[in-house]
Copies of this chain bind each other. A is one copy, B any other.
Amino acid sequence: MLLSGGLDSSTCLYWAQREGWDCEAVSVLYGQRHARELDGARAIAKAARVPWRSVELELPWLKVSSLVSKSAKLPDLPLAKIGTGGIPSTYVPARNTVLLAVAASLADATGASAIVTGANALDFSGYPDCRPAFHRAFESVLREGTRSGKIRVLAPLLRLDKEGIVRLALELGVPLGLTWSCYKGGRRPCGRCDSCKLRAKGFAEAQAIDPAC
């Protein structure tokens, strides 16, 4: 389980448990502008009673992304424009390839039969590495490049919109007050970044109150 501590990956963790998987969660620090979501990941893993660890990768060139560089300005787009204008400045180069590779090495080391990712490709910022074709390609890497050759990629949210994700999270009893989705790292979510806006849209459409706000 790749667990960032946000809405999506936290929902995936509870989904995987309901599906009967014996889970282990890993959070990856790659220089995100804040480590606020890490606290969320730790708390969610504790609430779900799964082993959790964080690992750190030194990838200094990721600072080209406004999600990593502290001096860059985060986009503040109208909701309707999110994901429509090409790849945004928050894109972290090949991030999901790196994250899935980390999960692949953990899975291949421990004999796990699947990797779970919270990627979704409907209400998203327009990152190429969140699309179904990317996950299929990565499964072929797992087939050819691991000891077992049988590690699957599970992306249960891939074709859900944010409303669907919020509804699933509520149905699964995910402790949403513990999750952190904002791209910034303040005390409260900023409400203006892509991630905040998409999350707010999801709660509004699901007619639910976000306990994290």
Contact = CB atoms under 8 A, between A and B. Distances in A.
A141 B144 contact: no
Contacts of A87: 147
Interface of A: 53, 55-62, 64, 87, 91-98, 100-102, 104-110, 128-129, 131, 133-134, 136-138, 140-147, 149
Contacts of A133: 144
A90 to B, nearest CB: 12
User: What secondary structure prevails in chain A residues at the interface with B?
Assistant: helix
Contact of A128 (B59, B64, B149): B149
A10 B64 CA distance: 28
Contact of A141 (B57, B106, B138): B138
6 contacts: A59-B106, A87-B147, A94-B146, A136-B144, A137-B141, A137-B144
A168 B205 CA distance: 63
Contact of A145 (B55, B64, B97, B105): B97
Contact of A59 (B95, B105, B129, B142): B105
